[in-house]
Structure 1
């Protein structure tokens, strides 16, 4: 791996390396090794986000600036009591494919690690649905379905406006549509359980998980996009 041709001026500009060419102390050894192998560094500050990735045999630094519709502090606070959703818009989007300018994220508090974890609606679709289904909370499930419908509406608009990007948009639309179908199946199962409970019918305590039942009814032939590794945040 070639590290002698690193774009040092750009790396200094964004605080990834110091003047003496050492890496920022906010990056540990594992972060640095991953970065040198092509993984993406993500830096957050309020509503703004920047991603950094080395390309062309580590000779170029790819930088993308994004903006969320909510402050990070607000997202973290709300995530403590419920799943929080946010849209991420790429700035300078005229230089990028239009269909990739909007991303929808779910922020979920992980009780085991006491950290808020970010999930992408496309790359982590199955994980989000599984986590929310496991909560067995009708309100959370309905909120999630509403966000999926918003994403579907956006993608449908993109297909109409940019038919040249139909292949990529259609793939994303298929993922979102399948999650909507899965959520609908889960909601139907929950209603049946509630109805059975009202009728004093004894349910089998060993019945399979609702998400598992619904998930078995959908195809799994979509290849998930490679998830971008989120490294430790640091200020620019």
Structure 2
């Protein structure tokens, strides 16, 4: 693996620090007790990274893949894991989607979700928008908020399975408890590379990367974990066209249909 490919993520890491380090210091100066809550500090840092252009930039870079994996398949009640600023809502077909549920534990991002969703025609007063502050692993909070088990028609995950706690258990619970029979689990994720040299560098950088990007890991084969849940009547996984094999952010998209 070329050294340039192995170290390319350092540019993004530096840009993230430039965007969020000083605002986070100011936050800690105003609220020193936050030092006792590393998760809150991480989320505050990440909110500034996302607002500085990472959110919009990543959305634009993934636009073609999102159109392929979200727009044709999302329908009914859509549960968006790790919604960020809610960019997923712009890929939903209003004629097919009745409710957009934005799952985002980082409350500093909630107003952006609200703004983008409202602009796309989804809002809380009409019941077409629901913002949840829990994580994807909190299946009980999710099903409670949605009125019970098997109430979701489509689970969407865009660059989120890389950061959720206990991902295999969370994926299984979402598929088995939240998703309706016949519902679909669609995703676009960066995953562990099948190339051993690339995977070595992914594992090498992950401890540093996850500090700056709110727990994001480069070394998870999440597309395989979705498949391992079982109970799918149809499934397909594909890669990103023309993506270099040496890319540290090796992507996989997928569509899995739960057995009716």
After TM superposition, the score normalised by the length of structure 1 is 0.28
Greater Cα radius of gyration, structure 1 or 2: 1
After TM superposition, the score normalised by the length of structure 2 is 0.26
